[in-house]
Structure 1
């Protein structure tokens, strides 16, 4: 499965980081229960995380290109530990502080993706980056699922976040250990850091027009890059419901208890994990990814309707979860694989992944803000937003320019040649 054992380590770090970020699962609302409109506050925390990720990711990507992947991974792992410590006081300020610290260290994702591109065989690039992308995207589900095991086993954890926070701290220490044994994947000579350049990257991250112009400049060198990256932006908007899941299941019409929500997250994450592993290890080599992206996106519209109109019907929720895993669950991996194929043709992968994650951060932040606003109007309204994004995504895939269409239709064997 892994020709290079470092890939297994990268996926392990990615998975643990995802669990740390979302491990509290349905108990996040405990931190905002004394505030009005607590669901809105939970989503506001997500928006804060994504907003800071927007600024920090390009900087961390650039540092990893100049100084290596390992130092950045160690630093972000330590930051994730500090973020978890803020959750011991069950207060709104603790939750918001945690989201802020997690936002500054979430650039780990782009650095890990660069590490995969550094060492994966060209013919396996789509598979390996797709797996890493899927773990990252599904982290909002995997985290609550792992935390859910503790909620089911330990009665105290069903109403008190402290046991889950302790688990997250232990996992954060484990991740620090894994980053310490991580072997450097970037073979470029180290370069001195230019503070002015890093500062410029941080400020440019909030300048959407500047980021868009940078995207156009890259597209001149890497034909098809911009069109495929627009698909990634749309997928981020489409998959925004993963961050909304927790609030919707617990405070929406379903009104699940933390234990009931935990069972669903475990079921959903195991399905997603199984489907993604089977698909990206065996099936992806034999399918036209462009046609599959269209089918998955269109199926996602129906899945959003199932979630929105499940009402208090738990059986309908589980049916929607199965449809989700078999269709939308593949979306992040498919697009991550396509992006990595294009970026692998360039130098400075850390900077490119960091810059793309910055523009992706704009999309994720905008999605979180839209979700927060729509939630205040009607708890089911955000699903209409996600369905619209999936419809636009399907349309864009149908009308890809020639260069991007070639990347989307080429099979891994053809790419390696």
Structure 2
């Protein structure tokens, strides 16, 4: 097992005395771009299941819609990762942001499509928009590779933790903004202000807001993002197919387990993510705004975990060990989450605000453990991937592992949606069970020395 010193990183603040101003500026720009883009993504999260239900279709379509995005991301993420190795990080980031602008705009028009040509075409519009967004969804893997380009190995955990914190910040403010945009007062005011040809509904306004955020992110990338200096992968030596990229990764002892772990974690967690909002609506009676408030709470905890806690723990402990702890915490929280009301009903009444019932208190505590485990696991896995790949193949390695995650997110949501229809608690318990082999894989990584990458 690698020593703590060899695998640690400073806090995710990165601007240290030995980091050049150019490095700090580049890191700040790419983190800001990802934050703005994820802010738009977070805006739509609280309304998406309600949007699907508004067309009168089964909850299974919620899972299928999520899977359509991930399937396209699975196909295109390794391709975009390879292109970023050959052609540059900046062009790929900008292309993905253009796709986000178009996708969210089309997504917000599905309600109008239903009025004109019917429900079938409206649902098809949702699928087209999510598939477009998935095909262009290589910005995360490319952003991770960008950070790997500009930071030394010993500081990468902190830098990737900072990127993870920008994710969480997007999920703090994004759902809150989405809940606000879907509220009746805002919708009413928008109808009075906007031109009649712009639809103003509790579903279209968050979607158009997400498109606007992606447009701002695109403008920021165009104005401020510069291509990092690095050793590029020669085009003639690049892996040319998706299958061969995965074959190479699975034949690499240092990457094989990580690829499998990304897949299993994604199957487990993506299904739970998609079905939590229907769970909150059905079991706790939450609407879009109330769901957005809970997601904002989870996002706030995620920011603290990934932006502060992970960086500090990475100073003292190896990434693989942190990943094991994160996977165990995540498994426990998923197993307990669907039974939060049952556990809360066993607790005595608590003094405090009238809205803070024992059932909600348990849900908040389980959510905190889930946020801690997920943040610890994701950042540690990303750092392990970075340490397992040579400098000229960072984009390829992240593309393959993110592609593996996308395959998991293709399988997870529809499978867990079917489970949810059969029994509301089953997706969460199934997710916890899937994390058991992930813990086993990570334990084997803890027990073996990690090769040093020059």
- Does the pair score TM above 0.5? yes
Tell me whether 155-164 or 7-16 shows the greater mean CA deviation.
155-164
Q: Match for 1:374 among 396, 413, 419?
A: 419
Tell me the matched-pair count: 394
Larger Rg: 2
Secondary structure, counterpart of 2:302 in structure 1: helix
Instruction: Note the residue ranges of structure 1 that are not aligned, 5 or more in a row.
Output: 205-209
Aligned counterpart in structure 2 of residue 103 of structure 1, from 134, 137, 153: 134
Q: Is the 8 A contact 1:53 1:105 kept in 2?
A: yes
1:247-326 paired onto structure 2 within 5 Å: 247-250=278-281, 252-311=282-341, 313-326=359-372
Question: Is 2:438 the partner of 1:393?
Answer: yes
Residue of structure 1 aligned with 2:376, choices 330, 339, 342:
330
- Cα distance 1:302–1:356, how it changes in 2: closer, same or farther (>3 A)? closer
Q: Equivalent residue for 1:46?
A: 66
Give the TM-score of the pair, scaled to structure 2.
Answer: 0.78
Please, what is the CA RMSD of the aligned residues? 3.0
Distance 1:349 1:334 in 2: 16
Q: Please state whether the residue corresponding to 1:14 is helix, strand or coil.
A: helix
Q: Where does residue 78 of structure 2 map in the other structure?
A: 58
Query: What are the residue-to-residue correspondences of 1:206-245 with 2, within 5 Å?
Result: 212-217=246-251, 219=252, 223-240=253-270, 241-245=272-276
Distance 1:138 1:106, change over 3 A: farther
Instruction: Write the mapping of 1:128-277 to structure 2, written as runs, cut at 5 A.
Output: 128-133=159-164, 135=166, 143-151=174-182, 154-156=185-187, 160-180=202-222, 181-188=224-231, 201=241, 204=243, 212-217=246-251, 219=252, 223-240=253-270, 241-250=272-281, 252-277=282-307
Counterpart-to-counterpart distance in 1, 2:103 and 2:26: 26
Partner of 1:339: 385
8 A contact 1:42–1:247 mirrored in 2: no
**After the TM superposition, which of the residue ranges 71-80 and 241-250 deviates more from structure 2?**
241-250
In structure 2, stretches of 5+ residues that fail to align are: 1-12, 112-121, 189-199, 343-358
| Residue of structure 1 in register with 2:91 after alignment | 71
> For residues 270-322 of structure 1, what are the alpha-carbon distances to aligned partners after superposition, in whole Å with 9 as ceiling and x for unaligned?
11111221113323211244443333322323211331112483332212112
In the alignment, the residues of structure 1 paired with residue 372 and residue 28 of structure 2 have an alpha-carbon distance, to the nearest angstrom, of: 24
- What do residues 354-401 of structure 1 show as CA deviations (whole Å, max 9, x unaligned)? 233223322221222321321232222111111012222222222338
- Specify whether residues 356 and 137 from structure 1 end up closer, same or farther in structure 2 by C-alpha distance, changes over 3 A only: farther
